[in-house]
Structure 1
Amino acid sequence: MPMPPSDGWYLLGPFIAVALVGFLGAIFWRMGLQWTQAREDPLRELYEGLAIFGDAEDYGLLCPAAATDDPGIAEEIRSLLSAAGIRSTSAERPDGRLLVLVFPEEVDEARRLVGGSPAL
């Protein structure tokens, strides 16, 4: 059975779809990502404190249990908490200090265990 002749019009639909997705992606990238990263943006003070735009002091579900300047001490605190069965991680603050973070239900116990660590 012979195949019907084609002249390439069947490629037009997928080409238009790919071009449209690329065009919309470029527009949304320009509107979204570039807008939040601009330092001279006059609206920056309106969204600076929102966590969705990268608030440095927002750690999601985790709470700070200890703070230190030394990464070695932060690892010792984390291993102490791990030995006690408390899951933890660390994060760096904008001023360079390291925070040891735990879940809210374990923060009181973690702070008791750490005891003599520098204050937050």
Structure 2
Amino acid sequence: MPPSDGWYLLGPFIAVALVGFLGAIFWRMGLQWTQAREDPLRELYAGLAIFGEAEDYGLLCPAAATDDPDIVEEIRTLLAAAGIRSTSAVRPDGRLLVLVFPEEVDEARRLVGGSPAL
């Protein structure tokens, strides 16, 4: 068969058509249920999927909670001056948390104990 008669295009065309067909089947079987509005499990999929619960912050523990972002920055500055690494996160209810590692959580809570954030 000479390559000029068009048969060389049949293989790639079949491959693309097969991938498209399989993609449509997998989309229909696997992704459609996540887009349903009446899905009772929809709320579980909100946010990052790596966290098992909404209040799970991985290796970090909350040391302080507040509603004011300025107070969070003051607490983080205080903790940084004491040599404690910290970060902040937003809870689902909108409150702000200051998070530290578990081995430093007691010391961090003692430092911010007089803070209006707690």
Regarding TM over 0.5, the answer is yes
- Of residues 79, 82, 85 in structure 2, which corresponds to 1:81? 79
Compute the displacement of 1:66 (Å). Answer: 0.5
Moved more, 24-33 or 87-96: 24-33
Compute the displacement of 1:55 (Å). Answer: 3.3
| 2:59–2:101 CA contact under 8 A, matched in 1 | yes
For structure 2, list consecutive stretches of 5 or more residues without a partner in the other structure.
none
Structure 1's consecutive aligned runs of 4 or more residues displaced over 3 angstroms after TM superposition are 6-39, 42-55, 117-120
Distance change >3 Å, CA 53–CA 106, structure 1 → 2: closer
Task: Percent identity, please.
Answer: 94
Distance change >3 Å, CA 51–CA 12, structure 1 → 2: same
| 1:91–1:99 CA contact under 8 A, matched in 2 | yes
TM-score normalised per structure 2: 0.67
For structure 1, list consecutive stretches of 5 or more residues without a partner in the other structure.
none
Aligned ranges 1:8-23 → 2 under 5 Å? 8-23=6-21
| 1:36–1:53 CA contact under 8 A, matched in 2 | no
Aligned length: 118
Distance change >3 Å, CA 9–CA 47, structure 1 → 2: same
Distance change >3 Å, CA 16–CA 105, structure 1 → 2: farther
Q: Distance in 1 between matches of 2:51 and 2:35?
A: 9
Q: Give the superposed CA RMSD.
A: 3.9
TM-score normalised per structure 1: 0.66
SS in 1 for 2:63: strand
Deviations 1:48-77 (CA, angstroms, capped at 9, x unpaired): 999647732121121111100100000111
Distance change >3 Å, CA 83–CA 50, structure 1 → 2: closer
Compute the displacement of 1:95 (Å). Answer: 1.5
